[in-house]
Amino acid sequence: MFLVGLSGGIASGKSTVVAVLWELGCRAVIDTDLIAREVVQSHSKAHQQILWYFGTEILLENGEINCEALGNMIFSQPEKGWLLNSISHPEILEMLKQILKYFVLGYRYMILDIPLLFETHGLTKFMRSTVLVYCDPLAQRAQLMRQNGLDVATADAQISSQIPLEEKLQWATHIIDNSGDRESTRRQVLRLHTRLEGSLDFLWAQLAVGTAIAGLGGLVFLLLRHLIS
């Protein structure tokens, strides 16, 4: 089994690509964004530790952590970022368990859905392939406005807060152009799936080394910053 990193941009259609992969029988997909959210979920050990070190002023009325308030604290006090990293690191064991499960089940490849894959260049070296879900700027803006009910100015501001998709093209091994209809996207994903299924690469040892070197706890911290922004 080898690792394939999947990324994109806001409203570029990454969820569509994941859905098509599921349709094709690829169940080995780990959503690192979801894991990052679970790190700060109410009643978790990390949640309690975060409150202990950062204070109850970062709580929302419903008891959940206000990621914006937490982010502001981290940005103003960089040393707090390392503290958050150390708190969230044990939660990454769940991700490693999922990786081991898919490995034992005999999947040819596994998808790591990482929003900040190309922003954290150190992670890409541990991926056999990287996939960018691209769409042209006008389609991206239209999708974001429709998806979140935003006006043009707000949508443009959110898109501009990220590295442009055009810039990420140079770092991706494979490109899925989601600018057209779903059937077009599906055909591209099918070609990619067929190619990956036919690969004989085996990078489990590299994964183990990569985990030790890169420190997936740092990934969770970066994902938390992604959620905050």
pLDDT per residue, tens digit, the chain (229 aa), is: 889 999 999 999 999 999 999 999 998 999 987 877 777 788 888 888 889 989 998 898 888 888 778 877 876 777 777 787 777 665 667 778 888 899 888 888 999 998 878 877 677 888 999 999 999 999 999 999 999 899 999 999 889 878 899 999 999 999 999 999 999 999 999 999 999 988 755 444 445 444 544 455 555 555 565 555 5
Helix (H, G, I), strand (E, B) or coil at 181: coil
- What is the pLDDT at residue 211? 52
For 93, the token pair is: 């064991």
Collapsing DSSP states into helix, strand and coil, what is residue 128? coil
Give dist(CA 76, CA 144) in Å, integer.
30
pLDDT of res. 218: 57
CATH code at 2-43+91-228? 3.40.50.300
State the DSSP H helix or E strand holding residue 113, giving kind and residue range, or none if neither: strand 109-113
DSSP string covering 11-68, please?
Answer: TSSHHHHHHHHHHTT---EEEHHHHHHHHT-TTSHHHHHHHHHH-GGGB-TTS-B-HH
Q: What is the pLDDT of residue 182?
A: 95
Separation between Cα atoms, residue 221 and residue 83, nearest integer Å: 10
Nearest to 173, CA basis, from 1, 2, 58: 2
pLDDT tens digits for range 202-217:
444 445 444 544 455 5
pLDDT of 134:
98
The answer to whether 17 and 139 are in contact (CB under 8 A) is no
Residue extents of the structural domains in the chain:
2-43+91-228
pLDDT at 221: 57
Looking at residue 11, its pLDDT comes to: 94
Q: What is the amino acid identity at position 142?
A: A
| Res 162: pLDDT | 85
Closest Cα partner for 207 from 216, 199, 220, 198? 216
Provide the Cα torsion 138, 141, 147, 153; round to 10°.
-140
Distance CA 40, CA 46 (A): 6
Q: Determine contact, residues 117/123, Cβ cutoff 8 Å.
A: yes
